[in-house]
Amino acid sequence: MSQPVRVRFAPSPTGPLHIGGVRTALYNYLFAKQHKGAFILRIEDTDSQRFVPGAEEYIIEALTWLGLQFDEGTHIGGQYGPYRQSDRKDIYRQYVDILLEKGAAYIAFDTPQELDAKRESTPNFQYDASTRGDMRNSLTMSADEVQKLIDGGTQYVVRFRIEPNEDVIVNDMIRGEVKINSSVLDDKVLYKSQDNLPTYHLANIVDDHLMEITHVIRGEEWLPSAPLHVLLYRAFGWEDTMPSFAHLPLLLKPDGKGKLSKRDGDRLGFPVFPLEWKDPKTGEISSGYRESGYLPEAVVNFLALLGWNPGNDQEMLSMDELIRLFSLERVSKSGAKFDYEKGKWFNHQYIQQKPDSELAGLFAPILKEHGIEADKGYIEQVVGLVKERVSFVKELWDQASFFFVAPAAYDEKTVKKRWKEETPAQLGELIDVLKGIGDFSAHHQEEVVKGWIETKGYHLGNIMNAFRLALVGESKGPHMFDITAAIGKEETIRRLEAAIKNIK
């Protein structure tokens, strides 16, 4: 029997989660759920220089909003914890010692100044098999000397000893076999005595091993680190349980030229973060999908298709369908253009799918902001009439305000175009016609009003356009008689009278 699938999302809390990171989390989630496996949150915070307060909480809140629930993590615990790397310091030290004992790693005392000097004097300097013999490390110094320095409190790092001239193969589920020669790799720092912390590479491998991770699904920017990771697994003797790798394609700018950045979002007016983020240092606010009015299911659907497709042209996919259909084999190798307009399109589609009662619930607070407390049933009715015209809940106000308040002014252009000399008299007659209607349903009103227009030989368009102007204040809105039926007879007549009185 094969091992149960265990995947992790392993962000570093260095700021708000970028939308590309959200996609990485989503693919991990879909893969885990499809295989009835575990989806784990591990916080990789060993780089204290880059730690940003609030980032971890932000990541959890964002993924919770999108419906990506973890099975284990910093916020919920689990059998493989702790899940925050800064809480695992002691664990890493043991593994550093294992590598040192095996001779797969060594201690180096070179100071930053010494390294800088070396870089200046040696073109393309790299700390590796060709240079480590000239440096101040445990390979060039006696054991006594090394011990003396350590005992005396001299700071050191532990470096991975990479053997040159060997082809290292990474089997990537998306990219296939990726081969690189070990000579291009440098002896990476795995550990720093200064803060007693491992670097990303060591912590990442040790944790993937201890947490029994079966698949590492992450952004393409980590592909260059993968050969080093393969070598680390080998150095520990963990080849048999090495996870499978899948490096996801980049998210590209909308024009496809280069990596999507926050600046593209600022320039073109779309969020690149799931939630609004306030920079704790500068106070600068970056917009988020949630605050911009996106529905979580729309964001999930949109992101799922950035770099993956179900093999046909189906675009509307629920979370359950995504879980069923997702496959790493169908993830593309090339970058995915961030088509922001498509994101809006998805939001529009999901708004149409939402029951009117739910949309009414989302619209009610916006109405309240405008000082309107309306009956739930009425809001629902209005939402049903206008929702096809909006892509965001907040646009409902613009499309539907006249259902709640009479126009305070009339659009000048429309007045010029639609308000003719004969209009006031005709609308006066219309008022009488409406007064006589008992059943004020849209259907019945339409029959009566159109009958009257026909008998009188009036121009249908002229009457209806002026009628709309009087009720809405401009030339927009759903079917005319749906509006009058909704606002009711009295209000309809009141607005007609006001228009006749006020429009010159």
Active-site positions read 262
To the nearest 10 degrees (0 to 180), the angle between helices 376-386 and 480-487 is: 170
Query: Min. distance of Cβ 171 from ligand GLU in angstroms?
Result: 16
**What three-state secondary structure class fits 181?**
strand
The residue from 44, 72, 187, 482 that contacts ligand GLU (CB under 6 A) is 44
Q: Which residues pair with 40 in a beta bridge?
A: 8, 72
**SS3 call for 67:** coil
Q: Least distance from C-beta 488 to ligand GLU, angstroms?
A: 58
Contact 246, 328 (CB under 8 A): yes
How far apart are alpha carbons 128 and 165 in whole angstroms? 11
Residues 6+ apart with CB under 8 A from 18: 262, 272, 273
Nearer to ligand GLU, 220 or 380 (CB): 220
Amino acid at 200: Y
Beta carbon nearer to ligand GLU, 10 or 105: 10
Provide the minimum distance between the beta carbon of 9 and ligand GLU in the complex, in angstroms, as a whole number.
7
Decide whether 211 or 360 has the Cβ nearer to ligand GLU.
211
Q: Rounded to the nearest whole angstrom, what is the least distance from the CB of residue 105 to ligand GLU in the complex?
A: 20
Q: Can you tell me which of 5, 6, 7, 11 binds ligand GLU, judged by CB under 6 A?
A: 11
Q: Please give the Cα distance from 477 to 390 (Å, whole number).
A: 12
Q: Which positions from 210 through 249 interact with ligand GLU, judged by CB under 6 A?
A: 216, 218, 222
Contact between 51 and ligand GLU by CB under 6 A: the answer reads: no
- Least CB distance from residue 10 to ligand GLU, whole Å? 4
CB of 107 to ligand GLU, least distance (A): 25
Subset of 344-363 contacting ligand GLU (CB under 6 A): none
Residues 6+ apart with CB under 8 A from 332: 174, 249, 307, 308
Question: Which range binds ligand GLU by CB under 6 A, 6-14, 186-194, 234-242, 329-337?
Answer: 6-14
- Residues in CB range of 247: below 8 A, 6 or more apart: 172, 174, 175, 218, 219, 220, 222, 223, 226
For ligand GLU, the closer CB: 10 or 496: 10
Residue type, 98: I
204 binds ligand GLU (CB under 6 A): yes
Query: Which CB, 10 or 295, lies closer to ligand GLU?
Result: 10
Q: CA 430, CA 416: separation in Å to the nearest integer? A: 21
How many residues sit in the footprint of ligand GLU (CB under 6 A)?
8
Chain Cα centroid distance, residue 389: 25
DSSP string, 102-124: HTSEEEE---HHHHHHHHHHSTT
* Binding segment (CB under 6 A) for ligand GLU, from list 9-17, 397-405, 444-452, 455-463: 9-17
Indicate the residue among 182 and 204 with the shorter CB distance to ligand GLU.
204
* 442-461: contacts with ligand GLU (CB under 6 A): none
Regarding 10 and contact with ligand GLU (CB under 6 A), the answer is yes
SS (H, E, C) 226-258: HHHHHHHHHHHCCHHHCCEEEEECCEECCCCCC
What is the closest distance, in whole angstroms, from the C-beta atom of residue 124 to ligand GLU in the complex?
Answer: 27
89 vs 494 by CB, closer to ligand GLU: 89
Which member of 5, 6, 7, 12 binds ligand GLU (CB under 6 A)?
12
The beta-strand segments (E) located in 295-374 are 336-337
**Residue 426 found at the interface with ligand GLU (CB under 6 A):** no
Q: Strand 215-219 relative to strand 244-248: parallel, antiparallel, unpaired? A: parallel
Nearer to ligand GLU, 222 or 452 (CB): 222
Tokens found for residue 207: 């944790």
**At closest approach, how far in Å is the CB of 28 from ligand GLU?**
9
Residue 161 engages ligand GLU in binding (rule: CB under 6 A): no
Interface with ligand GLU by CB under 6 A: which range of 8-16, 167-175, 305-313, 478-486?
Answer: 8-16
Torsion of CA 130, 234, 143, 193, to 10 degrees: 90
**Which spans of this chain sit near ligand GLU (rule: CB under 6 A)?**
10-12, 44, 204, 216, 218, 222
